[in-house]
Amino acid sequence: MQTDIPMREAVHNFQVSAPARDNDPQSESGQPSDEWKLEQGLAAVELHLLDQTRSKEADGDVPDWEGDTAPVTRKFDSKLAADELPGWDGYVEWEDYPDKKRKAHEILISQKFPPPPEFQLAPIPGTNPVLEGVRWKLWHRAIGGRLAVVPEESWAIVLKEKSPDMLHLLQFPYNGEPPKRLVIAQPVTPNPLHFIRNHGGIPSIEPSAWFLRLDGLVKEPKKLTLADLQDESRFPRMERLVTIQCSGTRRIEQIMLYAGEGDEMINAPWAEGAIGTARYVGVSLKKVIKYCGGLEEDGKHLELVGADTYFKMNEVMNYAISVPYSKVKANEVMLVWEMNGEPLPKIHGAPVRAVVMGYIGARSVKWLYRITAISQPTRAPVQSKEYLYFNQQVGKHNQRWTDGIQIQEMPVSSAIMSPWNKQVVVHKGKIEVKGWAYSGGGRWPERVEVSADGGFSWYAVPVENLSEKHKFAWRTWHMWLPCDVEGWIEILVRCWDNALNTQPIQVRDAWNWCLHVTSSAHRIKVYSVNKAKDRTRERLGEFEKRGISFVPITRPTEFPYMTWEEYDEYFRNNGPRDVDE
């Protein structure tokens, strides 16, 4: 905030009939002082429910009513969550112990936890971390034992392994992305700047203690160590350049249009940096399954399980998803232990994680320790209850899990990294624009187009200004965009992949209740100042000569725009403002 800008003067209150709210400052008329915010939707989180199917007397929520709840005795078991294995610090096994999961459920339902923070209908906090994850921390502490200190341990790993430039969207479970200026600074994302989207705490597993369980509908269940996987006489080494993208990338655009589901972890307010590209080394899961004798006839999917603890609807479990075996047979699922020439960082899933090429990042399980062959997709909540793409008429009032498409492959997408939204850009008839483009499923950006007029006319990014083409990686790009007009303009980018898939123009076309997959053309508004125009160049010179900043543009200009002589001369030459006949 610029401290030299005076605060806005108070708006005069108008006499209206409005209900008072607790702790609300009011004018003498009885009107809440922030009524104007409510009327304009600037404090929508405080708006009462307008139920037009009921009488006016019953309109809105009934104050101080919480319903009848039976008293519940708070439960606690300090020994429930213990480290499962030596050298596996922070890993609690849940899937093998149904009784332990039941006890954890009883603990959670015996306590009250705060609701998620409001960051859609209320302003997003201007802090870093943006959100703390209070509920998630309290859930871990409620289970107690080993989990009680996992939030603090995980944050320490974030501070050690991630760049101080990172934007921390959620402190715990950690969600973070690099700032725009660093997202595409290099075609391959440095490890400390690669985005992170965690669903739980960060286990610390010793590579020498780690092993992978393969069971279920495999013909020969096995347990493999890291040394086994790295034995090239058994498994050929594999190296791939892969872009991993969170399905929440650019979610902030959907939030700014319409509010949707608001869990602070599942629906974190991601910007354009929830994407990164790295070179991974490991082995193909196809070769590992072959080493286990292949799958039984009914084996159609592979459930990948991580060592982090996950919470959903008062249930506790290990993080799990599934991928179809057809994806594995295409050599598009890797088990990796190296990232950009370095051992896989703890925060990225060390010692071994999955990398599922072309799928949403949620399928690339970190801290992988178990793979189970199954006949149907897993019912684990991250697969069956979350990461669902709903029709726009589906929402809190009517949603069912089966109404949503389970998101796997990422569609074509792109984003502008420079300029920034609402930035003032001084140029000489061309604006330099930079960004990234990506398409999932083994498709790649074939053409990137940019528009300076809201999407009416498009300019193709020159091929030489696109980074190298790869099957499972993004392409960064830059171009000088012709722009003669001045004032507010809208710059858009869209991508065409090799299958000629492209992006819808409006965010509305991509909006969905769970706020996933913002696949629309990325749109920013910039204030264009064309220095190639004589009058503009002279005016900018006047600001510079007087030592006055041109920004913010909303600040009034406090020196005369023209002399009275110039003013009089204009009307002498062009006639009066009004005529008599």
Instruction: Give the per-residue pLDDT at 209.
Output: 98
> Please, how many CA atoms are within 13 Å of residue 234, restricted to the half-sphere of its CB?
16
Burial, 484: exposed, middle or buried (Cβ in 10 Å; 0-12, 13-18, 19+)? exposed
Residue 345: both structure tokens together: 């960082």
DSSP letters, 244-281, are EE-TTTTHHHHHHHS-----TTTT----TTSEEEEEEE
- pTM of the predicted protein model: 0.88
Polymer length of the chain = 581
User: Do 414 and 294 contact (CB within 8 A), yes or no?
Assistant: no
Angle between helix 134-143 and helix 150-161 axes, rounded to 10 deg: 130
- Give the phi and the psi of residue 428 in degrees, each rounded to 5: -125, 45
Instruction: Give the per-residue pLDDT at 79.
Output: 81
* Spatial separation of the C-alpha atoms in residues 382 and 379, rounded to whole Å: 8
Instruction: Give the per-residue pLDDT at 350.
Output: 98
Beta carbons within 8 Å of 311's beta carbon, 6+ residues apart: 108, 136, 139, 200
Q: What is the mean pLDDT of each run of 10 residues along the chain (581 residues)?
A: 33 35 45 50 57 50 40 67 94 96 97 94 91 96 96 97 96 96 96 98 98 98 98 98 97 96 93 97 98 98 98 97 98 98 98 98 98 98 96 97 97 97 95 97 98 97 98 98 97 98 97 97 96 96 94 94 94 91 82
> Please, how many CA atoms are within 13 Å of residue 97, restricted to the half-sphere of its CB?
16
User: Do 128 and 170 contact (CB within 8 A), yes or no?
Assistant: no
Q: What percent of the chain is modeled with pLDDT above 70?
A: 87
Q: Per-residue pLDDT tens for 136-187?
A: 999 999 999 999 999 999 999 999 999 999 999 999 999 999 999 999 999 9
Instruction: Give the per-residue pLDDT at 352.
Output: 98
Instruction: Give the per-residue pLDDT at 580.
Output: 85
E strands, 196-326, where? 196-197, 204-205, 211-216, 222-225, 238-245, 275-284, 301-312, 315-324
User: Do 254 and 510 contact (CB within 8 A), yes or no?
Assistant: yes
* Spatial separation of the C-alpha atoms in residues 303 and 372, rounded to whole Å: 5
Residue 434: both structure tokens together: 């930079």
- Give the phi and the psi of residue 573 in degrees, each rounded to 5: -80, -25
